[in-house]
Amino acid sequence: MIVCFDIGGTAIKGALAYAVDDVRPVPRQPTPIHDFAAFVSVLQAVIDQAGERPERVALSIAGIIDPDTGRAVVANVPCIHGRPLRQDLEAALGLPVLVANDADCFVLAEAGVGAGRGHRVVFGVILGTGVGGGLVIDGQLINREGGFAGEWGHGPVAATQAGNPPVQLPRFQCGCGLSGCIDAVCSARGMEKLHAHLHGTTLTSEEIVSTWQAGDAAASRTIDVYVDVLTGPLALVANVTGTTIIPVGGGLSNAEALLVAIDTAVRSRILRKFDRPLVVKAECSVEPGLIGAALLGLYAD
């Protein structure tokens, strides 16, 4: 049995995991974002509920473990930001601890019990507040020791000319400090910036998608350009990783027609040809971070 957690800036979700198909959530608790001792106490309280000593503790965090220093980069929970989190928690809890990024846990969940079941290489994608991803090969995260693998949303690679007919695009500024990232133009907020740039009007991403599906010409142009910008880099990722399935999570994944358009464009741009969808909606829509953390602990050597 392992104890797993999905750490958010507002709440800590916990569960006791006995097997892949036996993950038992416990009531969530507010996250003590400024007090590390209180943070540890919340974890310890869940561990105590188990009634037995777990093999290990596994955490999903909305951040990165720097592979060179082992320190956590977690902006929304200041009390763990900058800490050698694994070592500090192992010392405080007296148990082995595993820590992974929430997007990595999402992909691990999809590979284990979601849309990626039966696939040796699974590259998962988040399209929502940000653009992220993760890579699982043979059931194991590439980022087992932390790191930035799977972060395909960042890097100055966004097209400056896209759509049919082509339109010139700026290199939008990204929150990571670079310009021209896929995250800056293909996240939900990025789609909104793209629409405003093309048409001079402001709509939410939900409104853009819904009016596109209703046949609106301006929204259709935005989606045409959006899909063109997104799918070139995603096709490259598919070629590089050899993934045979790309589960998509995040708010934009709820638009089935958008995923179909992305899938069609990606499959037309990759070397390997598939006669079935490659880009698909994620199946673990409920608590993927917690499920992924459970699998991270259960699959550990």
- Domains: count for the chain: 2
Residue 112 lies in a domain: no
pLDDT single digits (tens) 253-294: 999 999 999 999 999 999 999 999 999 999 987 789 999 999
Residue 31 lies in a domain: yes
Residue 256 has φ and ψ, to the nearest 5°, of -60, -40
Q: What is the pLDDT of residue 227?
A: 98
For residue 95, the enclosing domain spans 2-105+286-298
Based on the fold, state whether residues 205 and 100 are members of the same structural domain.
Answer: no
Q: Which two tokens stand for residue 209?
A: 């998608």
Based on the fold, state whether residues 81 and 126 are members of the same structural domain.
Answer: no
Based on the fold, state whether residues 180 and 209 are members of the same structural domain.
Answer: yes
Based on the fold, state whether residues 273 and 290 are members of the same structural domain.
Answer: no
Based on the fold, state whether residues 57 and 157 are members of the same structural domain.
Answer: no
Based on the fold, state whether residues 272 and 248 are members of the same structural domain.
Answer: yes
What CA–CA distance (Å, rounded) separates 131 from 44?
33
Residue 131 lies in a domain: yes
Give the CATH number of the domain where residue 161 resides: 3.30.420.40
Q: DSSP 3-state helix, strand, coil percentages of the chain (rounded to 5)? A: 40, 20, 40
Q: What is the pLDDT of residue 232?
A: 97
Residue 73 lies in a domain: yes
Q: Are 193 and 172 in contact (CB under 8 A)?
A: yes
Would you list the DSSP string of 202-222?
Answer: ---HHHHHHHHHTT-HHHHHH
Residue 111 lies in a domain: no
Per DSSP, what are the bridge partners of residue 124? 134
Based on the fold, state whether residues 162 and 25 are members of the same structural domain.
Answer: no
Based on the fold, state whether residues 267 and 292 are members of the same structural domain.
Answer: no
CA 253 → CA 72, 127, 206, 261, 297, distances in Å? 28, 7, 11, 12, 27
Residue 49 lies in a domain: yes
Percentage of the chain beyond pLDDT 70 is 100
pLDDT single digits (tens) 16-54: 999 988 999 999 999 999 999 999 999 999 999 998 999
Task: Output DSSP code: residue 179.
Answer: B
What CA–CA distance (Å, rounded) separates 181 from 177?
10
Based on the fold, state whether residues 98 and 171 are members of the same structural domain.
Answer: no
Based on the fold, state whether residues 253 and 122 are members of the same structural domain.
Answer: yes
| pTM metric for this prediction | 0.93
For strands 279-281 and 246-249, give the pairing.
Answer: parallel
* Cis peptide bond upstream of 165, omega within 30: yes
pLDDT single digits (tens) 113-171: 999 999 999 999 999 999 999 999 999 999 888 888 999 999 999 999 999 999 999 99
Residue 110 lies in a domain: no
Residue 60 lies in a domain: yes
Based on the fold, state whether residues 129 and 275 are members of the same structural domain.
Answer: yes
Based on the fold, state whether residues 269 and 126 are members of the same structural domain.
Answer: yes
